[in-house]
Amino acid sequence: MHYIGIDMSKDNFHAAFSDEEVLIFENSKSGIEEFIENLTLRDYVKYNTVIGTESTGAYHLLLSEMLRSKGWNIKVINPLVAHKIISSTLRRLKTDKHDAIAIRKALVTGAGYTYTDTPEVLVLKALVQEREALVKVRASIKQRVHTHKLKEKASALRIGNGFTRVLKVLSSEIGGLEKEMLKYLPLVQNLLRTIPGIGTMTACALVAYIGLDPRVHESGTSIKGKGFISKRGNRYLRRILFNSAFVARRSNPEMEEYYLKKKGEGKHHFSILCAIERKLIHLIYAVWKRGTPFEARYLGCISYKNLSKDPALSTCLRLDFNILSSCGMAR
């Protein structure tokens, strides 16, 4: 098995074929094609060659996509993993060459995940990120417009305000992005939106990203640290999943019943929402994997909407969620 560690930068990348041999290629289509030709000259074949690169925001995407499209096994490694390997050495050298070697060593230990993003997913990620950035700017502009109006009231005079026009442009651009996002992988998006708590923009983001990282600190029987959700992973995805859990608790009788049960046990509000978030992720995974929409089936003639408003009824009447049953979550 051949392992190649790659340290990416804006203009070029270092490829470590071993702990001694590191070559430099341009981070461009021609440079990547030269790298692939080099693999062929070495008689490296796809089934026994693993190529690893750090997650660098955008610099690694061209290489990853070109290798994926040609059938090479490309893995993306968290920069923290390579950093720990470098920190574990006595000299702690930090150069592009040593970074490439560290990435190769991490690859040998099994680190990284296989890069599988299709062009559609890449476009959707870009649109999700652009919309998030514009929404943040719009929130800031709204605050400025509000402050401006307060100043007008205080002075009793008309003050010119360019921020109002900017706000209209931003809202128009955000609306355009949201329409564009719906064009990519629409069948998957529609499937996810059948789950209570998953809205239009949440479904778009889920198609582009997914993941939670629970963190626990325990050692033996004496150290029992408090568990929490770590700050690793995508911040935007963590936020929208938490918001979705809040909505799911209100719109899904099973989640509301679970919330009340845990609340009665003395659990904190946010701890319960994190647990609901985990349940929601299981639902998302089951719906996505099976390719069938979420469907709630229940006994009796009481409507789903009225049942969600009455926790007592949701306890008496057993709800049968076929998706929950399919992934082993139905109690």
Rounded to an integer, what distance in angstroms lies between the CA atom of residue 200 and that of residue 78?
A: 29
Query: Residue 114's Cα: distance from chain center in Å?
Result: 15
Q: Write the burial class of residue 287 (CB in 10 Å: 0-12 exposed, 13-18 middle, 19+ buried).
A: buried
Query: Residue 307's Cα: distance from chain center in Å?
Result: 33
> 145, 161 in Cβ contact below 8 A?
yes
Q: Write the burial class of residue 299 (CB in 10 Å: 0-12 exposed, 13-18 middle, 19+ buried).
A: exposed
Rounded to an integer, what distance in angstroms lies between the CA atom of residue 203 and that of residue 321?
A: 20
pLDDT digits (tens, 9 = 90+) for 49-102: 999 998 887 899 999 999 999 999 999 998 888 777 777 765 556 688 888 999
**Closest-CA residue to 109 (of 145, 125, 85, 128):** 85
**Closest-CA residue to 120 (of 191, 204, 60, 233):** 204
Beta strands in 214-253 (DSSP E): 214-215, 218-219, 223-224, 228-229
Look at 8-22, 71-85, 166-180, 206-220 and tell me which has the smallest mean pLDDT.
206-220
Rounded to an integer, what distance in angstroms lies between the CA atom of residue 6 and that of residue 8?
A: 6
Which amino acid is residue 252, in one-letter code? N
Rounded to an integer, what distance in angstroms lies between the CA atom of residue 232 and that of residue 92?
A: 24
pLDDT digits (tens, 9 = 90+) for 99-117: 899 999 999 988 888 898 8
**Closest-CA residue to 5 (of 94, 59, 76):** 76
pLDDT digits (tens, 9 = 90+) for 191-245: 999 999 999 999 998 888 764 444 444 444 444 444 444 445 567 778 888 889 9
Q: What was the pLDDT predicted at 306?
A: 43
**Closest-CA residue to 72 (of 101, 100, 35):** 35
The pLDDT confidence band at residue 328, using thresholds 50, 70 and 90, is: very low
Rounded to an integer, what distance in angstroms lies between the CA atom of residue 301 and that of residue 65?
A: 53
The pLDDT confidence band at residue 304, using thresholds 50, 70 and 90, is: very low
Look at 3-12, 187-196, 258-267, 296-305 and tell me which has the smallest mean pLDDT.
296-305
**Closest-CA residue to 198 (of 245, 238, 141, 166):** 245
Query: DSSP character for 189?
Result: H
Which amino acid is residue 285, in one-letter code? Y
Sheet containing 73-77, strands listed edge to edge, beginning at the edge strand earlier in sequence: 22-26, 12-16, 2-8, 49-54, 73-77, 113-114
